[in-house]
Amino acid sequence: NAGVTQTPKFRVLKTGQSMTLLCAQDMNHEYMYWYRQDPGMGLRLIHYSVGEGTTAKGEVPDGYNVSRLKKQNFLLGLESAAPSQTSVYFCASSSTGSAGSNEQFFGPGTRLTVL
Amino acid sequence: AQSVTQLGSHVSVSEGALVLLRCNYSSSVPPYLFWYVQYPNQGLQLLLKYTTGATLVKGINGFEAEFKKSETSFHLTKPSAHMSDAAEYFCAVSDRSGSEKLVFGKGTKLTVNP
């Protein structure tokens, strides 16, 4: 049982390049999330999904797209990377239940640098 | 919109001393409340959560937090700090709307001095 995994762990991009971050969970969770973490800012929600085939915008969605084609995977895409997207990206998942009361399980993070 | 305020971005204590990390939230209804811990270069791990019932919540590693509705607070405490407690701590709230989203505070970095 690996929990939540993220690939890659590190990536350096040049401005304008594109990339996709992959998140996978093996806990059969319905809900999945992408956050970015910046110094002194805490974690901010980018996009989330409440089930296979669904996605929704979070607090800071601009410049990112997501897809949830399979229940266990949640992809985060950057179509044209900008230096402002330099950050550490975390994926998380949670099960359904009493709304908002369930623990979110986090992956180890992806450190992205955009030059 | 909900928000979370963590007072003090850095807190330093001596080993064996009391740990107190402060968290206040703004919400029109009592939310669900969480404390997460992040060790260097790792993801976040749940310490404890409050949903309903007893307002004093016990978590892992000897931490506990008390929900005080009148003060809109959910402060985290540990009677005696250990060197292994050095980490960054995040308070988070979730509303009861069914979205399962969390709003995080900006974090408090805890340093434990020998």
- CB contacts, 8 Å: B42 with chain A: 108-109
- CB contacts, 8 Å: A31 with chain B: 100
Q: Which residue has the higher pLDDT, A77 or B31?
A: A77
Query: Is 60 exceeded by the pLDDT of residue B20?
Result: yes
Which H/E stretch holds residue B108? strand B108-113
pLDDT, position B57: 95
Phi, psi of B102 (to 5 degrees): -110, 145
The Cα–Cα gap between B7 and A110 comes to 28
pLDDT, position B53: 85
CA distance to partner chain B, nearest, from residue A29 (Å): 12
**Contact B29/A at CB under 8 A:** no
Question: A45-49, A79-83, A96-100, B57-61: lowest mean pLDDT where?
Answer: A96-100
Query: Is 80 exceeded by the pLDDT of residue A100?
Result: no
The Cα–Cα gap between B92 and B111 comes to 21
pLDDT band at B63 (very low <50, low <70, confident <90, very high): very high
Phi, psi of B60 (to 5 degrees): -80, 160
The pairing of strands B10-14 and B108-113 is parallel
- CB contacts, 8 Å: A41 with chain B: 106
CA distance to partner chain B, nearest, from residue A82 (Å): 23
**Contact A43/B at CB under 8 A:** yes
The pairing of strands A110-114 and A87-94 is antiparallel
B22-51 average pLDDT score: 90
B94–A101 C-beta distance less than 8 A: yes
CA distance to partner chain A, nearest, from residue B82 (Å): 24
pLDDT, position B1: 72
The pLDDT tens digits for A25-55 are 999 999 999 999 998 889 999 999 989 999 9
CA distance to partner chain B, nearest, from residue A55 (Å): 12
Q: Closest Cα to residue B4, out of A36, A50, A39, A41?
A: A41
A73-88 average pLDDT score: 97
The Cα–Cα gap between B108 and B9 comes to 4
A5-22 average pLDDT score: 96
pLDDT, position B25: 93
- CB contacts, 8 Å: A25 with chain B: none
